[in-house]
Amino acid sequence: MLNSLLSLPNTQQLIVGDELSNSAKVWIDSRKVQVGDVFVGLKGEQVDGNDYWQAALDKGARLLVLERAPDAEGLANIEQAGCHLVVVASGEATLAVWARAYRQTVLTKANDGAGVELIGITGSNGKTSTKELLKAVLSENFAVEATVGNYNNHLGVPLTVLSCNPEQEVLIVEMGTNHPNEIEFLCDIAQVNQGIITCVGNAHIEFLGSVAGVAKEKGALLRSLTSAQLGDKPRGFAQAHVAQREILSSEVTAQMLWVGENHQLEITQISQTIKGTQFNLQTVNSNTAQGTQTYPVQMPILPTVMLENIRLVIEVAYAMGMTLTQIASGLESFQLTAGRFEIVEAQGKYWINDAYNANPDSLREAYASLQLLSEKQGDIWVVFAQMGELGEQALEQHYQLGCEASQLGFNTIAVGESDLVKAYYQGAKEAAQESELEPLSISHAMNQEEAQQILLAQLQAGDKVLFKASRAAGLEQLFKQFI
């Protein structure tokens, strides 16, 4: 793979060393470099990655991409180590150019000309969980790689593409955005063959302006799918009831599969408890020799929105020729990633870490999931810290969501000193006072330590505690105190 990189454009200087590995990864963090890998130095707001080339070299890097050349002694060390050096004007621009070229040449021609199938995923919520779910299912029949963690931005997508081994059959690329035209930029790099929209909602409203603006931005993924490459199979996937569907699908030429209209599979007889989720996977069209096929599936407890994402994933897998047996097996192998409705039973209580990120829609989805867990003994608690990037709607949204928590009968602890946290607390308190339900515990903790003391004093056996906030709040640290 690296020999292919060295022949790509946007290089100014090259010192040739030893032959390079085809299994190398590309990193912008020198701490993650392993023997044979590529290190790209980027100048950031806080740290200049170009200063860490020696650390990458010491870890065995075989290609350094830097925005400025080291001094004469450094150049001698690099050459003596048998390492390649490329000096470029912009490491960020080089990542994009190289990733696009690597996609067009190496990945397109891989697998004896069949190429690597690239599947893009975007949406206001559920991108990472859907990516992991799709990877689990497709891995039953294909060699699959996927975005690591949430490397889904203007740096993460190029890194994902560049790190794809051409021996893989499928690469799943998660795409995130919070400003206009970012998805279009990422699609120009990845040039995906299929696209999945998980949902359209109130995320990044501060920069995208409205839900309609979100739909237009997310729709760039579907617009990037050209009809010429698609044949007669659906290559765009979304829910029929998705918000702002007309805007989302505007100018889309690819064949679309709308779950709820022209879907081929469905899940029925859904049962959810604190112990797990069960349902039947079955075909919609029984006009086959086998008739309707049905397979029972047992999975971990899932947030309710994941059932919607399952419906998307099974359609993608079925369109790619997988059998129901393979799809069911892949679903059962799936495990939720940390921080996404991760449930741990400890000390006689259930602790739910959903603190990886939050926006109004994902918080309401968490509320809906909590309602399913209200069986038998135990109260439900919501430990909340603020949500980001809501713009002018921020105070109103926080207040309203606090009200909704109390109206659903949840005890709440609002954590933090910001006006947004106070708005959430005020909404919860006022709604609790007006509620005809049993008295609720509504608290405002200035910090996580105070919140911990409130929980320790009031929790009872069987209680379920949800931790929910935007990533910057670090609320997962409080969750870890109890497990």
Could you report the per-residue pLDDT of 104-156, keeping only the tens digit for each? 988 998 888 889 999 999 999 889 989 999 999 999 999 999 999 779 999 99
Question: Is residue 337, in this structure, part of any structural domain at all?
Answer: no
pLDDT on residue 226: 74
pLDDT on residue 11: 47
For the chain, the distance separating the N- and C-terminal CA atoms, rounded to the nearest angstrom, is 43
CATH code for the domain of 37: 3.40.1390.10
CA-to-CA distance for 64 and 316, rounded, in angstroms? 38
**316 & 366 share domain:** no
pLDDT on residue 412: 97
pLDDT on residue 18: 43
Measure the CA dihedral 389/395/398/402, to 10°: 180
**400 & 474 share domain:** yes
**148 & 76 share domain:** no
**170 & 105 share domain:** yes
Contact 162, 24 (CB under 8 A): no
pLDDT on residue 189: 96
Question: Is residue 468, in this structure, part of any structural domain at all?
Answer: yes
**393 & 256 share domain:** no
**227 & 133 share domain:** yes
pLDDT on residue 1: 55
Question: Is residue 205, in this structure, part of any structural domain at all?
Answer: yes
**157 & 18 share domain:** no
Domain range enclosing 178: 94-332
pLDDT digits (tens, 9 = 90+) for 457-482: 999 999 999 999 998 899 999 999 99
Question: Is residue 288, in this structure, part of any structural domain at all?
Answer: yes
**107 & 169 share domain:** yes
Model-wide pTM > 0.95:
no
Question: Is residue 175, in this structure, part of any structural domain at all?
Answer: yes
**354 & 435 share domain:** yes
Number of domains in the chain: 3
CA-to-CA distance for 321 and 277, rounded, in angstroms? 26
Domain stop point among 295, 312, 332: 332
**252 & 154 share domain:** yes
Domain stop point among 298, 332, 366: 332
CA-to-CA distance for 368 and 373, rounded, in angstroms? 9
Alpha-carbon Rg for the chain, nearest whole angstrom, is 24
**325 & 355 share domain:** no
**196 & 252 share domain:** yes
pLDDT on residue 16: 38
pLDDT on residue 19: 46
pLDDT on residue 320: 95
Question: Is residue 295, in this structure, part of any structural domain at all?
Answer: yes
Domain stop point among 34, 65, 89: 89
Residues of the chain with pLDDT under 50: 10-20, 228, 230
